[in-house]
Amino acid sequence: MQTLCWKNSDGLTKAVQQHLLKYHTNEYNEALKKQHLKQLLVTEVKPKIVELFTQAGFVTHLIQLISLDDQSINLVENLQFHKLMMYPHEDLLDSDIPHRQNIADGIYKHCEAEYAMMVDDMKKTLGCISTTSDVWSDTNLVAYIAVTAHYLKHNGKGDLMLCSQLIAFHPLKGSHSGRNLAQTFFNIVKKAGIINKLGKITLENTSNNNTPISKFAQSLHKIGIPFDADGNHIRCSPHIVNITVQTALK
């Protein structure tokens, strides 16, 4: 039986690892298994695939850049950005770069498509779907509400996987009254198709959040869905700790 041994001095770990990955993949994986380091396993070496340029693909990549990196939509109107895009692509014309309205429309369409896939994914959940929600105001006193759904599903490999999906993040219209918050939350979970699958609801530990939960429960009861406002309401533990610390410091 052949024994593989290696040693390295300070600063060469990365180079040795890259050498093993490239020339001794199978032996390297076996060594990792014996050391219980499965998270470092290399399952396959994939060749680099060069994507052919298309106008649709170009717009998609621009949308991903702006969305994922939180860039301004006005980036595509910047003269230097146009020069940068055309510099490595001699066939790319200035008119090929979409304007901000095209990007905004594209972002909206991609958002709708992602939302539809998310809703379809939540239909496959194995049990109830719990939610966490928060309401806050920005520096201009514009109120926002965000709702995140949490659920379990099979990952296709025989294991369960915990999923968390942001199902709503938009301005809160109207007052912060319990009735309005309850109706807004009701509309969000109904649109997401999870109104019949709700489990626990986590809100801030403030007294005015008791009203939205009770009003929400009443709305569910009216359409024949059982829901226990007290049993299904989980108070936000970090907020409880924060209140406790502030009280102790007084």
Both structure tokens of 100: 């901000």
Q: How many CA atoms lie within 13 A of 154 on its CB side?
A: 5
Percent of the chain with pLDDT over 70: 84
Residues near 220 by Cβ (< 8 Å), separated by ≥ 6? 186, 195, 198, 226, 227
Residue type, 69: D
Same domain, 90 and 8: no
Same domain, 88 and 174: no
Structural domain boundaries enclosing 44: 1-49
Mean pLDDT of 34-45: 57
Same domain, 86 and 135: no
CB 135 within 8 A of CB 176: yes
**Which pLDDT score, from 0 to 100, does residue 102 have?**
92
CB 149 within 8 A of CB 128: no
- With 0-12 / 13-18 / 19 or more C-beta atoms within 10 angstroms meaning exposed / middle / buried, residue 152 is middle
CATH number at residue 245: 3.30.420
Give me the number of domains the chain comprises: 3
Is residue 120 one of the residues assigned to a domain?
Answer: no
**Which pLDDT score, from 0 to 100, does residue 149 have?**
96
Mean pLDDT of 92-101: 89
Is residue 235 one of the residues assigned to a domain?
Answer: yes
Identify the residue with better confidence: 1 or 132.
Answer: 132
Last residue of a domain, one of 13, 34, 49: 49
Residue 2 has pLDDT above 50, yes or no: no
**Which pLDDT score, from 0 to 100, does residue 88 have?**
83
Residue type, 60: T
**Which pLDDT score, from 0 to 100, does residue 44 have?**
52
Residue 131 has pLDDT above 80, yes or no: yes
Euclidean distance between CA atoms 53 and 59, whole angstroms: 11
Of 134, 130, 64, the C-alpha closest to 103 is 64
3-state helix, strand, coil in the chain (%, to 5): 50, 15, 35
Q: CB atoms < 10 A from the CB of 212, how many?
A: 26
Same domain, 155 and 244: yes
Identify the residue with better confidence: 54 or 145.
Answer: 145
Same domain, 129 and 217: yes
**Which pLDDT score, from 0 to 100, does residue 130 have?**
95
Same domain, 172 and 236: yes
Mean pLDDT of 122-146: 90
Mean pLDDT of 194-203: 91
Same domain, 59 and 45: no
Residue 236 is classified by DSSP as -
Residue 87 is classified by DSSP as S
Same domain, 93 and 183: no
Euclidean distance between CA atoms 97 and 76, whole angstroms: 7
**Which pLDDT score, from 0 to 100, does residue 212 have?**
87
Residues near 185 by Cβ (< 8 Å), separated by ≥ 6? 133, 145, 147, 212, 216
- Token match 């060594």: residue? 31
Residues near 250 by Cβ (< 8 Å), separated by ≥ 6? none
Identify the residue with better confidence: 44 or 132.
Answer: 132
Last residue of a domain, one of 63, 89, 114: 114
φ and ψ at residue 170, rounded to 5 degrees: -155, 165
Last residue of a domain, one of 33, 49, 65: 49
Residues near 226 by Cβ (< 8 Å), separated by ≥ 6? 220
Percent of the chain with pLDDT over 90: 43
Is residue 119 one of the residues assigned to a domain?
Answer: no
Pairing of strands 160-171, 198-203: unpaired
Same domain, 37 and 64: no
